[in-house]
Amino acid sequence: DWTTGNVIDEQVAAIREQVGTKRAICGLSGGVDSAVAAALVQKAIGSQLTCVYVDHGLMRKDETEQVEKDFVAATGVQLKVVDAQERFLAALAGVSDPEEKRKIIGREFIRVFEQAQAEIVAEAPGDQPVEFLVQGTLYPDVVESGGGTGTANIKSHHNVGGLPEDLEFKLIEPLRKLFKDEVRMVGAELGLPDEIVQRQPFPGPGLGIRIVGEVTKERLDLLREADAIAREELTAAGLDRDIWQCPVVLLADVRSVGVQGDGRTYGHPIVLRPVSSEDAMTADWTRMPYDVLAKISTRITNEVAEVNRVVLDVTSKPPGTIEWE
Ligand code: XMP
């Protein structure tokens, strides 16, 4: 019988057996999946686990602070924070192709984990080696990256199809057979607070795959502002639980003519992509209240320089995917 209790017991036993007395690191992204994976592995091997939070500069506003506070408060886990903003931006410079971006981000994550691995060993030499990397990979991530039987590669999720070929870590992926709702149940059972377990999904590659065009610091800052406004208004309207997630996308390679004050503008559009879904494998666009859309649109065009248009994505999945890239 499938119960969260059974899943936890089975995984804890399997992880203990796999890791033995060695050590593991777990990449935390601020999302539900990596948090639950980390909590599960911590339950299995305790202080043999170190969590690594990579600040790649592709995060939304206030996300880094939230991981540093909420997750550590909830679990007491050992956390290492790595500032890798320069490195990710440099690796992404000049790149517009979505799959190329995904592979670069996946590879850079691993390079940073390798560096963290070396540092952890240097800090506690003579201790057991750090051999394992914990990832919060879910069943849909595997399927969409072409890992499922008979499925085509739709997009390379950063922690599956985006991994480099020379990966030396052994992977621990305790959620690989689960869907999001099951992961949330496991997280709740492990004692994680609602603020973590009920968070809307956010992809590991972050805002890097929400800028259509090249990823630059300026564009990230702009998108971060627009995204923060959308999230603020959705929360204020009480819609967080009705909406599965709402990607906010910057069409950086598109410009349109507008008018503001008494002058012409030539700016970029922002796309709102609110979706309703059970498991992210399929989705529908959310019929959300017009007055909330109007408020978001007015605020973004007033408050975010260079954005003079807000558009609503009314495509289901399929044929669209949830993210634009
Ligand atoms: P798509 O765009 O494929 O997204 O319909 C399905 C769900 O997966 C999330 N997503 C990702 N999550 N790494 C992640 O951790 C990724 O590379 C990635 N790509 C998409 C997306 O936000 C949605 O919830």
Q: Is the CB of 309 under 6 A from ligand 1?
A: no
The Cα 171–Cα 192 span in angstroms is: 23
Residue 29 annotated as part of some ligand binding site: yes
Residue 34 is labelled as binding a ligand? yes
Q: What residue spans of 20-155 are helical by DSSP H?
A: 32-45, 63-66, 72-75, 85-92, 98-123, 139-144
Alpha-carbon distance of 113 to 106, in angstroms, equals 11
- Structure ipTM: 0.99
> Which single residue is written with the structure tokens 């309207």?
237
**Distance (Å) from CA 265 to ligand 1 centroid:** 33
Which pTM was predicted?
0.94
Sign of CA dihedral 162, 167, 173, 177: positive
CA of 277 to the centre of ligand 1 (A): 13
Nearest-CA neighbor of 269 among 201, 209, 205, 222?
Answer: 222
Structural domains present in the chain: 4-197 (3.40.50.620), 210-312 (3.30.300.10)
Secondary structure element (H or E) that encloses residue 50, with its range:
strand 49-55
- pLDDT tens for the 325 residues of the chain, in order: 789 999 999 999 999 999 999 999 999 998 999 999 999 999 999 999 999 999 999 999 988 888 888 888 888 899 999 999 999 999 999 999 999 999 999 999 999 999 999 999 999 888 899 999 999 999 999 998 887 555 568 899 989 988 999 999 999 999 999 999 999 999 999 999 999 999 999 999 999 999 999 999 999 999 999 999 999 999 999 999 999 999 999 999 999 999 998 899 999 999 999 999 999 999 999 999 999 999 999 999 999 999 999 999 999 999 999 999 9
The H-or-E segment that residue 51 falls in is strand 49-55
CA nearest ligand 1 atom 20, residue? 203
